[in-house]
């Protein structure tokens, strides 16, 4: 586990402090993803609540028409959410319903935030208790005023880093990471299958050397075994597409809730055991 710098309580957005505090000291954080509005708003709210007891942080997706960073599973889920009439404000209301549970980060694309107006969007999100936002098409060179609006509202912007990111850029990304950094496990889109190998270990080690925030790894993590293996050298694991597949395969809504709840419990106990095994 990395040694983290003392939090800068004075300058840090409230959301960033809550997110940093959500990373347990003795195991990797579990960060499940729920696509807001898939297959409809009410059902996705139930899925988020089913996962909340096992989650350290919940990632809540706002569906977007053209999600460049997403593979077929999340694309299709987002498309269904849009066809069901899901609006960004519906997803922010799901976040509000999760108050008192693990902190929520919204995952969405930059143009939806620009369309709403960053001040308005982040004020609305902050009112709903949202702690952070992940914007996969906003690299560190873009969006200074958007970041300022988020910070003013107390919402942390979670930067992403990829295996193709240079050391110098990793360091620059680290200066923006006041909550945690999202490491993309592979060059690719969501929903593939991660290989827990020396390449991934070397990337996380390189990020560790350049970034002082907690490091969560996502993209392609499916099984508890993969989560344990990555949790041994990262501070958090994000499970997204696989949870959507579990929902898609369930016979009905009740079965889907039971299945993802059971999967969340399995992942949480695996991560706890994995870290204690690792000493």
User: Rounded to whole angstroms, how far apart are CA atoms 168 and 171?
Assistant: 5
Marked catalytic residue, from 14, 46, 56, 59 = 59
CB 218, CB 184: distance < 8 Å: yes
Judged by CB under 8 A, does residue 68 bind other proteins? yes
CA distances, 270 to each of 24, 43, 205, 237, 243 (Å): 14, 26, 23, 12, 16
Q: What's the min distance (Å) between Cβ of 261 and other proteins?
A: 31
Reply yes or no on whether 248 is catalytic. Answer: no
Paired strand residues for 105: 59, 132
Q: Show contacts with other proteins in window 214-273 (CB under 8 A).
A: none
Joined together, the tokens standing for residue 130 give 């949202």
Contact (Cβ atoms closer than 8 angstroms) between residue 105 and residue 214: no
Q: Give the integer Cα–Cα distance in Å for 277 and 268.
A: 14
Nearer to other proteins, 180 or 263 (CB): 180
CB of 14 to other proteins, least distance (A): 26
Annotated catalytic residue 59: yes
Show the binding pattern over residues 6-45: x = contacts other proteins (CB under 8 A), - = does not.
Answer: ----------------------------------------
Q: Which of 17, 19, 60, 69 binds other proteins (CB under 8 A)?
A: 69
Closer CB to other proteins, residue 1 or residue 82?
A: 82
What letter would DSSP give residue 164? T
The residue within the footprint of other proteins, chosen from 1, 43, 112, 232 (CB under 8 A), is: 112
Q: How far apart are CA 15 and CA 205, in angstroms?
A: 26
Give min distance, CB of 172 to other proteins, in A.
Answer: 11
Nearer to other proteins, 79 or 253 (CB): 79
The encoded tokens of residue 49 equal 């609540």
Residues 6+ away with beta carbon under 8 Å from 180: 19, 20, 23, 158, 213, 214, 215, 216, 235, 236
Give the one residue of 14, 43, 71, 265 binding other proteins; rule: CB under 8 A: 71
Query: Among residue numbers 126 through 185, which ones bind other proteins (CB under 8 A)?
Result: 136-142, 160-166, 169, 173, 184
Kindly list the catalytic residues.
59, 70
Which residues of this protein are in contact with other proteins, per CB under 8 A? 64-66, 68-69, 71, 75, 79, 82, 87-88, 109-116, 136-142, 160-166, 169, 173, 184, 187-189, 192
């Amino acid at each position: 586990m990395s040694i983290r710098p003392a939090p800068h309580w004075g300058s840090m957005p409230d959301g960033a402090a809550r997110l940093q505090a959500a990373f347990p000291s003795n195991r990797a954080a579990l960060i499940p993803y729920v696509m807001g509005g898939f297959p409809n708003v009410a059902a996705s709210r139930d899925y988020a609540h089913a996962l909340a007891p096992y989650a350290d942080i919940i990632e809540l997706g706002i569906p977007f028409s053209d999600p460049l960073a997403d593979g077929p599973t999340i694309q299709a889920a987002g498309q269904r959410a849009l066809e069901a009439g899901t609006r960004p404000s519906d997803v922010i209301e799901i976040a509000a319903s999760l108050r008192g549970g693990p902190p929520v980060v919204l995952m969405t694309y930059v143009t939806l935030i620009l369309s709403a107006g960053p001040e308005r969007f982040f004020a609305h999100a902050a009112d709903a208790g949202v702690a952070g936002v992940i914007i996969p098409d906003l690299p560190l060179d873009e969006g200074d005023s958007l970041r300022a609006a988020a910070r003013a509202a107390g919402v942390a912007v979670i930067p992403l880093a990829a295996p193709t990111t240079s050391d110098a850029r990793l360091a620059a990304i680290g200066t923006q990471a006041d909550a945690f950094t999202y490491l993309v496990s592979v060059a690719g889109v969501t929903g593939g299958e991660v290989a827990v190998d020396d390449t991934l270990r070397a990337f996380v080690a390189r990020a560790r050397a350049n970034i002082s925030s907690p490091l969560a790894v996502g993209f392609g993590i499916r099984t508890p075994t993969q989560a344990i293996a990555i949790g041994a050298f990262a501070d958090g694991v994000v499970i997204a597409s696989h949870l959507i597949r579990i929902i898609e395969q369930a016979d009905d809504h009740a079965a889907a809730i039971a299945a993802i709840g059971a999967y969340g419990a399995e992942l949480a106990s695996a991560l706890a055991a994995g870290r204690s095994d690792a000493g």
